[in-house]
Chain A
């Protein structure tokens, strides 16, 4: 049932996880997105997206040990799964094909 197309926010989340590598968990993912896009992300919205991505098999997660900085709470670390990487690539290619022949000002160049 997994859909082939990724939503914009899903793409952003996947890309953030990819950028962070082994350091990708809730706080860092959110901070990465906030730093790069300049918009504040709600924790709830992020986890909703993560859950959906995990259900589609695009990301995988493992629980780490609890740490004191987090009030004794565990972290959930995320990694981009193979299917997720493929979906990202597909999205990028789709977009690239659509942009082909258009200037950034949406003027046809060819």
Chain B
């Protein structure tokens, strides 16, 4: 009867812990006692059994590994001998702390790089959303002919939800907008929010830190406004206060914070961290727009969780007819198809976008780890050469290969275990900075990348693999030859073949380092050049995204708002001038319009779609863009229609080669038949690089906001001091114009420049990190090789010194030997860098792919590292006492 059996795991442990001789008796005892105890109190009996199991482990191991085990001299592997080897190895390492440090450092670099990358890869590629049954989640998508997935309207969600009840046990809809909101009467800020259906929290099983989740009762406009905030949001605004009915003012609505989501829950998209969740029924309070009844606005993502045992295909077959029934009358047939996509990570495009490069990086870093292992095996070889005699004596006394391998494995473990721990610590320390390198459209992603069980397991596995490789390699290299030879050679034995391999490896490592560091140099110069390049405008500008249009301002009332805003902002001390534009510089995009030029006949297929920007009077002087002809916009240009434009030099030269652009006419409005009209060119502005630092000069024209007002704009402010210093005060002034108008972002044009070149900065940082890692490995490798060489040549050095060589001669000899390797590696690496530079030429800016300065700088860094790595063994060589070296026979 099962209830009379002790817990199986406990019994299994006890059985394993007992030597076979007593197994029957002991297990019998436990069963008998368990049954007796469970008659009165089954729970106590189970507890007793578990206690017995725990307490049987140590005595059991002692009995099994202690007495009566294979004798060490029999040459077999034994746990006891291994522990002794560990202690012995540790003592030896204490005598050679530099060797130990070099080994640990080398492995820590290799392992650290891998653990760090795996932490990121895990968060991006493998970690499911932290909700219940994430492995059964699917994203419901409507795929267009071209495979583009489209969002859903709220009515379509309701329709599909009713059809999905037998295949899904959960079906939620959500939308992830950035919402600009004023929190707790502070300044407006851009928050990442999620509007979710009422069943989202309960049905998905979102973990909560405190309070209650949102429910279907909250999903009604008339319900009291309720909000769930993220753990980070709570800490930032409320510190460690307990949750007790706090309200938060979001735009004009006081929301009661009913719950705080667990720190693990970042939302539905990897790479993005939501600050708050509000039900779709209540989003009107934030958006002033209720989309729920609009069957044509598609704005929702749908996520379902398959019932256990239901396949994606079956669910798809069930849902397709329902989707067709809904969409066909509205959009016609045949153009779209319902698809269920794997959804354990939600609808995240980060895994798709950077999955491939990330996997490549992981593979590359595994290769780096392999090099590190070979390096450390080499280092061990130098040590083993001193222990060769000891090994030979042990071997002669009957220790078999197993014992010797145990010895070397112990040595390897002594180095890898601290390295593994250092690697995990380094990864934990660096993961957030590393994650910030991953940018999308210039903005860093916010990634929740914990060191979870999977990462810890991978770290453990890699550490164990490294230990096996290091131990195995050094064992193989040093037990290959018969011990009798080693005894006869008295420890002076060269391991000829191995030494050659060692040197080749050092050359390859230095070559690789040279390539990486030279490329890093090219990229560092590229970033510097991009930062300092003349964009044609003044970069010391503070920027503010303002959206009066979101608060109901119209064409008629916007002019008043602009005037008030300029008034308030100009009163702030330090503000020199301000202007607005509907696109800000270096933001990758902008608007375009097709125009006709009076008196110009376009060539066949000539692109007449031109960049354009709406700017306020004063814009050109605020940004310091000189006017080469004509005048800037001013108050005279006010009106209900666009009648005046300013063009840039490129546009002027292209369409008015005679130089008489001012006074020329352009026909606009081709996109709106019947509303075309001519506008006059009143000025020509100097060219600027508007969308990207790297862009060519593009024909661009400017329109005036006095004639074409805009509800969403960026205020550009020039200050006397640094633009960063004025951000807060100007933002407050701006908010005082109309507290209801959110200022979404306050930033600077210099910051904008950094976002614009985020890709280049990322490439530079990765190249630098890899270069430094490669160099540390190369230097360790060189150090090991030279240390080994000095050991091998102790007698020779002694002889030289006895014959009158000075210590400087000896150290010069050793250093020269090391530098030959480094020089060979550097030359090969320079060739590699030249090739790599050519390959990435399109990524470079303002620097040639064969930039001498970068190459020389890289070579100098290598030389400095090589100096350090050879200096220590060289110094040791000079300390050779000829009397001892020669007597040592």
Q: Which residues of A pack against B, CB within 8 Å?
A: 25-27, 30-31, 40, 42-45, 47-48, 51, 63, 66-67, 69-71, 73-76
Docked-complex contact A42 and B52, CB < 8 angstroms? yes
Contact of B56 among A40, A43, A71, A76 (CB under 8 A): A43
- 24 interchain pairs, CB-CB under 8 A: A25-B29, A27-B29, A27-B32, A30-B33, A42-B59, A43-B30, A43-B55, A43-B56, A44-B14, A44-B17, A44-B57, A44-B59, A44-B63, A47-B59, A47-B63, A63-B24, A63-B25, A66-B24, A69-B31, A69-B32, A71-B5, A71-B28, A73-B27, A75-B25
Closest approach, in angstroms, between the C-beta of A63 and any C-beta of chain B?
8
CB distance from A108 to the nearest CB of B (A): 40
Per-residue A-contact encoding for B675-688, CB less than 8 Å = 1, 0 else: 00000000000000
Do A42 and B29 have beta carbons less than 8 Å apart? Answer: no
**Separation of A25 and B24 alpha carbons in the complex (Å):** 12
Interface of B with A (CB < 8 Å)?
5, 14, 17-19, 22, 24-33, 35, 51-52, 55-60, 62-63
Please name all residues of chain B whose beta carbon is closer than 8 Å to the beta carbon of A31 when the two chains form the complex.
Answer: 33
Given contacts A44-B17, A71-B5, contact A30 B27 (CB under 8 A): no
The answer to whether B28 and A26 have CB atoms under 8 Å apart is yes
- Excluding A44-B14, A73-B31, 11 further A-B contacts by CB distance (< 8 Å) are A26-B28, A27-B29, A27-B33, A30-B29, A43-B14, A43-B26, A44-B63, A47-B25, A48-B59, A66-B28, A69-B31
For A42, A43, A66, the residue with the greatest tally of chain B CB atoms inside 10 Å of its CB is: A43
Q: Which residues of B contact A76 (CB under 8 A)?
A: 22, 24-25
Docked Cα-Cα span, A66 to B31, in Å, equals 12
**Complex: A69 Cα to B5 Cα, angstroms:** 11
B28 touches A51 (CB 8 A): no
Cβ–Cβ contact A71 & B31, under 8 A: yes
Minimum CB–CB distance from B17 to chain A (whole Å) comes to 6
* Candidate in A40, A42, A67 with the most chain B CB atoms within 10 angstroms: A42
Q: In the complex, which of the residues A31, A63, A71 has the most CB atoms of chain B within 10 Å of its own CB atom?
A: A71
Nearest-neighbour CB distance to chain B for A30, whole angstroms, equals 7
* Interface of B: prevailing SS: helix
Alpha-carbon distance between A23 and B25 when the two chains are bound, in angstroms? 14
**Quick one: which of A26, A40, A42, A48 contacts B25, CB cutoff 8 A?**
A26
B27→A47 contact, CB < 8 A? no
The answer to whether A42 touches B31, judged by C-beta atoms less than 8 angstroms apart, is no
Report chain A residues within 8 Å CB of B59.
42, 44-45, 47-48
B25 near A74: Cβ-Cβ < 8 Å: yes
With A47-B22, A69-B35 given, is the CB distance from A42 to B55 under 8 Å?
yes
Q: Of the candidates A51, A73, A74, which one forms a contact with B63 in the assembled complex, judged by CB atoms under 8 Å apart?
A: A51
> Do B63 and A48 touch (CB < 8 A)?
yes
Cβ-defined contact, B22 with A25, below 8 A? no
Shortest Cβ gap from B90 to chain A (Å):
29
> Do the beta carbons of B29 and A43 come within 8 Å of each other?
yes
* Cα of A70 to Cα of B34 in the assembled complex, Å: 10
* Cβ 8 A contact of A42, one of B19, B27, B28, B56: B56
Please name the residue on chain A nearest to B61 by beta carbon: A44
Given the known interface contacts A51-B22, A73-B25, the answer about A40 and B30 at a Cβ–Cβ threshold of 8 Å is no
| Contact B32 A70, beta carbon cutoff 8 Å | yes
Q: In the complex, A98 Cα to B137 Cα: how many Å?
A: 77
**Distance, CA A67 to CA B22, complexed state (A):** 16
Q: Which residues of B contact A25 (CB under 8 A)?
A: 25, 29
**Residues of the A chain whose Cβ atoms lie less than 8 Å from the Cβ of B63:** 44, 47-48, 51
Cα of A26 to Cα of B27 in the assembled complex, Å: 10
9 nearest A-B residue pairs (beta carbon): A73-B28, A44-B56, A42-B55, A26-B29, A70-B28, A76-B25, A44-B59, A71-B31, A27-B29
- Expressed in whole angstroms, the minimum distance between the Cβ of B691 and any Cβ of chain A is 75
Most chain B CB inside 10 Å of its own CB: which residue of A48, A69, A75, A76: A48
Q: How far is the CB of A4 from chain B (nearest CB, A)?
A: 20
Chain B CB within 10 Å, residue with most, of A47, A67, A74? A47
| Nearest chain B residue, comparing its CB with the CB of A27 | B29
Q: Contact check: which of A44, A48, A74 meets B24 at CB < 8 Å?
A: A74
Q: Which residue of B lies closest to A76 (CB)?
A: B25
A48 touches B62 (CB 8 A): yes
Nearest chain B CB to A9's CB is how many angstroms away? Answer: 12
Task: Please measure, in the bound complex, the distance between the C-alpha atom of A73 and the C-alpha atom of B11, giving whole angstroms.
Answer: 13
CA A75 – CA B28 in complex, angstroms? 7
Interface centre among B28, B31, B55, B59 (most CB of A within 10 A): B28
Please name all residues of chain B whose beta carbon is closer than 8 Å to the beta carbon of A42 when the two chains form the complex.
Answer: 51-52, 55-56, 59
Chain B's closest residue to A50 (CB) is B22
Q: Is the CB of B51 within 8 A of A47?
A: no
B37 to A: closest C-beta gap in Å: 10
Kindly list chain A residues whose C-beta atoms are within 8 Å of the C-beta of B56: 42-44
Distance between Cα atoms of A74 and B26 in the complex (Å): 9
Q: How far does the Cβ of B590 sit from chain A's closest Cβ, in whole Å?
A: 77
CA distance A75 to B23 in the complex (A): 10
Q: With both chains docked as a complex, state the minimum distance between the C-beta of A12 and any C-beta of chain B, in angstroms.
A: 16
CB closest chain-B residue, reference A70: B28
Q: What are the residues of chain B within 8 A of A75 when measuring CB–CB?
A: 25, 28-29
B31 lies within 8 A of A47 (CB): no
A42 and B10 alpha carbons, distance in the complex (Å): 13
Shortest Cβ distance from residue B302 to the other chain A in the assembled complex, whole angstroms:
55
For B14, B17, B30, B51, the residue with the greatest tally of chain A CB atoms inside 10 Å of its CB is B30
| Contact of B27 with A71 in the complex, beta carbons under 8 Å | yes
Cβ–Cβ contact A45 & B28, under 8 A:
no
- Min C-beta distance of A94 to chain B, whole Å: 27
In angstroms, Cα B55 to Cα A42, docked, is 6
CA A70 – CA B27 in complex, angstroms? 8
Q: Is B18 touching A44 in the complex (CB atoms < 8 A)?
A: yes
Are B28 and A43 closer than 8 Å at their CB atoms?
Answer: no
Instruction: Specify which chain A residues have a CB less than 8 angstroms from the CB of B31 in the assembled complex.
Output: 69-71, 73
**CA A89 to CA B28, docked complex, whole Å:** 32
Q: Give the residues in chain A near B51, CB-CB below 8 Å.
A: 40, 42
A67 contacts which chain B residues (CB < 8 A)? 28
Per the bound structure, the CA–CA distance linking A42 and B18 in Å amounts to: 12
Residue of B whose beta carbon sits closest to that of A55: B67
Min CB distance B53 to A, Å, is 9
| Chain B residue contacts of A48, Cβ below 8 A | 59, 62-63
Q: Which residues of B contact A30 (CB under 8 A)?
A: 29, 33
Q: Which residues of A contact B25 (CB under 8 A)?
A: 25-26, 47, 63, 73-76
CB distance from B15 to the nearest CB of A (A): 11
Which residues of A are found within 8 Å of B58, using beta-carbon distances?
Answer: 44
Complex-state Cα separation, A27 to B34, whole angstroms: 10
Contact status of A45 and B55, CB under 8 A, knowing A30-B33, A69-B32, A70-B31:
yes
Which residue of chain A is the closest to B52 with respect to CB atoms? A43
Nearest CB to that of B59 among chain A residues? A44
Whole-angstrom distance from the CB of A27 to the nearest CB of chain B? Answer: 4
